[in-house]
Amino acid sequence: MSGSISTFKKALALVPKGVGALSFFGSLFVAQDIIRNEKKRQSIFHRIMLGLSIFDTITSFVNILSTWPTPEGTVGIFLAVGTTATCTAQGFFNEFGNITTPLYSASLCVWYLLFLKYGRKEKDCRKYELAFHVVPISVGLAMAVIGVPLNLYNNSGFLCWYAPFPNGCDQSIPTTCTRGAHAGIFRWIHYGIIWTAITFITYAMLSIYVAVRCQEGQAISRMSILSNTSRKKSKAVAGQALLYVCALYLTWFFTTCTRISQTAFKHHSDVLLMLMAIFFPLQGFWNAFIYIRPQWLHNRRAKKVKRNNGQSSTRISVVSFTSDLFSNNNTKDSTGIGTSYNSDDLEHNAKEMLEVDAREAVKFHVNSSNDDEKHEKIIEGVISAQAPLDASTDSSSNNNNNNNDSSSTTGITQSIVLTEKGLAE
């Protein structure tokens, strides 16, 4: 039978296996990274990410199976070795995972809105956490279960999903379709749910970015020395949000176009079907990339600072950025989104960045750079100076910007020098 199957059909069966494997292992990596870290398991953000990764793993495995579960002997399907039962099982988990993952992404965006835009604390968000999980799972399960008694799960190209059988039967005349006579209706419901979630996520990310820009604008008006750092933070926010939204569009755009073409126009495009086979299984891979990216950027930045250790230009930038972290009361909000996707939580990440920059700044102000114990004590002294510096910043907010710039940079420098002097005494 395989000899009569075209090269395109063979490629359509094999491509999802490869790209599905990328998503499968990417999702497994994210899941194990959270499960093995006790601190991450206590974070709402990471528990949502864990749920998202689990269902990404399910959908990725479904794509790896590709045409295998399709009933053996199905005309024009390469590597079909299954039965009606295996096709139904694949269709069930395919629908369950594909509805649940975008809704989990929407839950993640709700958390970001609460935490970053509206300033809710972790403990305040806990009362919403049950809904973050129950809504995606219940909607996905309902859409998956309803397809079983209605016999909706049949081969739909390279996967079993909502599809009429035999292929090409007229759904407007139920007697011509032995299975899946109502598949078209449920396809519209399916994509209605998906694109409602994507639209909300797009709005949420834009809203968060605008909120962060407004917060930074207020900070810049008070202290112009922060302008360069603030622009970098806004750029990080925009980049992360853009990647996150683009991942969803890449995953679902070609899939939606393919199904609309098949359902509304009765047209089967080989080009659209192949693009769907390439991009649709990559959802877990994109999520894993977004999860890892902020930590990778943070580590690269830390290495760059170390390479530039001893250069005066680095001294100025490190001291200025450290001053920003100490003097800005809203550090958590303004730095968090650009670095939070893989941090234990946003507050911890901001503190970690503060300590890294303080550590580097200390090296430029200590004569004996090899004295690690002295460095640690000075860093502790610098960090403990945060409250006085914040108070000093607030009390001087009515002065002109030049005075703010000078006092802020001088304050952090003096705290280091004074701490060193105290240790010497």
Count helices and strands in the chain by DSSP H and E runs: 15, 2
Q: What is the pLDDT of residue 56?
A: 95
Q: What is the pLDDT of residue 297?
A: 84
**pLDDT one-digit tens code per residue, 81-130:** 999 999 999 999 999 999 999 999 999 889 888 887 888 888 888 999 99
- Residue 38 C-beta-side C-alpha neighbours within 13 Å: 0
Domain residue spans of the chain: 2-293, 308-424
Q: What is the pLDDT of residue 213?
A: 77
Q: Which CATH superfamily is domain 2-293 in?
A: Rhodopsin 7-helix transmembrane proteins (1.20.1070.10)
Q: What is the pLDDT of residue 389?
A: 44
Phi and psi of 153, rounded to 5°? -90, 110
| Amino acid code (one letter) for 354 | L
DSSP code at position 365:
T
**pLDDT one-digit tens code per residue, 163-221:** 999 887 877 776 789 999 899 999 999 999 999 999 999 998 888 888 877 776 766 66
CA separation for the pair 6, 77 (Å, rounded): 9
**What element of type H or E holds 154?**
strand 153-155
Q: What is the pLDDT of residue 373?
A: 56
User: Which burial class, exposed, middle or buried, applies to 396 when counting CB atoms under 10 A from its CB (0-12, 13-18, 19+)?
Assistant: middle
Q: What is the pLDDT of residue 308?
A: 76
Per-residue pLDDT of the chain in tens (425 residues, 90 and over written 9): 445 889 999 999 999 999 999 999 999 999 999 999 999 999 998 999 999 999 999 999 999 999 999 999 998 899 999 999 999 999 999 999 999 999 999 998 898 888 878 888 888 889 999 999 999 999 999 999 999 999 999 999 899 999 999 887 877 776 789 999 899 999 999 999 999 999 999 998 888 888 877 776 766 665 544 455 555 665 666 677 678 788 889 999 999 999 888 878 878 889 999 999 999 999 899 989 988 988 888 888 888 888 776 554 443 343 333 334 333 333 333 333 333 333 344 444 444 444 444 444 444 444 444 455 555 555 555 445 444 444 444 444 444 444 444 444 444 444 444 444 444 44
Q: Provide the H-helix boundaries in 223-310.
A: 227-264, 270-279, 283-307
Q: What is the pLDDT of residue 222?
A: 57
pTM, full prediction: 0.71
